[in-house]
């Protein structure tokens, strides 16, 4: 009898493991194929990334633009962003979208779809039937200023690009920093005035 119970328990563990591996294989998000063209960042295989998530490319793009703090558009299968955005920032934000808008918080399966109920956006899992509000997923640390950058602090930055409005663009950790009056190619001390998500704004500090 004990041996039978052991076999039943072992079968459950094996079945559970196989299901888990199947889910992980099905949601293997393709690595973003990123290249830079002038002052833009292009994800070449954006259509494949959104297809495997079973999400509207326009909706995913809107999330990425908001979290990266830039402008952009879809051009065929590609997503084009203004500015040269670090690869890590893009991969992190894609992962954030999957965690918040694709994965079921109850069974961790990707078999979900979005449902609008009044003004609230819900995620319904087709696998286990669970419902949850998008806001109920644990909040991401990326939406808060990290210890590496705070409003009012002064840091050394190198201006990599110039934005459409003439501000210098620099990068610090996960942040894109817009610096008023900065010149491309220069290394300057920047005082951070405002932080919004992963975008920061500052000006050249007086020496």
Q: What is the pLDDT of residues 144-163, one digit of tens each?
A: 444 578 899 999 888 888 87
Q: What is the pLDDT of residues 176-187, one digit of tens each?
A: 889 988 888 888
Between 16-20, 67-71, 87-91, the lowest mean confidence (pLDDT) is in: 16-20
Tokens found for residue 191: 């005082």
Indicate whether this model's pTM tops 0.75: no
CA torsion through residues 118, 100, 126, 51, sign: positive
Average pLDDT over residues 74-94: 93
15: confidence class by pLDDT, cuts 50, 70, 90? low
- β-pairing, 78-82 vs 40-43, is antiparallel
Residue 87 in this model has a pLDDT that exceeds 80: yes
Percent of the chain scoring above 70 in pLDDT: 80
Find the distance separating the first CA and the last CA of the chain, reported in whole Å: 81
Q: What is the pLDDT of residues 31-42, one digit of tens each?
A: 999 999 988 999
Residue 20 in this model has a pLDDT that exceeds 50: no
Q: How far is CA 167 from CA 55, 61, 83, 161, in A?
A: 34, 24, 11, 9
Q: Which residue has the higher pLDDT, 38 or 1?
A: 38
């Amino acid at each position: 009898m004990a041996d039978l119970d052991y076999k039943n328990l072992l079968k459950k563990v094996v079945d559970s493991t196989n299901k888990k591996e199947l889910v992980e294989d099905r949601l293997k998000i393709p690595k973003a194929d990123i290249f830079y063209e002038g002052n833009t960042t292009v994800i070449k295989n954006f259509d494949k990334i959104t297809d495997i998530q079973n999400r509207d490319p326009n909706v995913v793009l809107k999330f990425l633009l908001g979290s990266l703090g830039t402008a952009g558009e879809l051009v065929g299968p590609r997503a084009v962003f203004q500015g040269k955005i670090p690869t890590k920032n893009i991969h992190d934000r894609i992962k954030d979208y999957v965690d918040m808008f694709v994965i079921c918080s109850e069974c961790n399966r990707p078999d979900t779809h979005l449902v609008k109920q009044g003004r609230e956006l819900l995620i319904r899992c087709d696998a286990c039937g669970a419902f949850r509000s998008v806001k109920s997923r644990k909040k991401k640390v990326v939406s808060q200023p990290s210890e590496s950058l705070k409003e009012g602090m002064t840091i050394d930055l190198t201006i990599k690009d110039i934005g459409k409005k003439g501000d210098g663009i620099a990068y610090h950790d996960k942040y894109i920093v817009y610096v008023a009056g900065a010149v491309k190619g220069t290394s300057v001390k920047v005082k951070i005035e405002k932080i919004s998500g992963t975008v920061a704004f500052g000006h050249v500090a007086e020496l």
